[in-house]
Amino acid sequence: MNKLYATIGIVGAVVVGYLIFSGEEAYKSSLSPTPAFKPLPSPVVRVDNFKEGFMEGCTEDAPELYDYCNCTYNYFDLTMEKSEMMRFGLEIESNPDLPLSEYPQEMKDAVIFCADKI
């Protein structure tokens, strides 16, 4: 169970890392209140940079987790929109003391789905 929590923590840190790599400021600016007549800017995220940033952050301290990181990214990619991944990463970044039990279900599901890659 401790390995599961450590893995969830690693994935959380990875999501935060890739956000920094792929344009966190663009996404944050889209969250600021704007008049109804002005459209909200969309975060510009190049798909190749998005995955690259995720993988770099995930494997930075543990290169042996490449297959696991790839699996979790693919799971997120199939089950979440990129904007959801970014929102999730920002939530974790803004609340680093968030207990693992309160992480989004998608993250827990990805850890379980990819557990055989660890």
> Following CA atoms 9, 114, 101, 98 in sequence, which dihedral angle do they give, to the nearest 10 degrees?
30
- What angle do helix axes 2-21 and 105-113 make, rounded to 10 degrees? 110
15, containing H or E segment: helix 2-21
> Rounded CA gap, 61 and 19, in Å?
17
Neighbours of 43 (CB within 10 A): 19
Per-residue pLDDT of the chain (118 residues; tens, 9 = 90+): 556 555 666 666 566 555 555 554 554 554 445 444 555 555 555 556 888 888 888 898 899 999 999 999 999 999 988 888 888 877 877 887 888 788 888 888 998 999 999 8
* pTM of the entire predicted model: 0.59
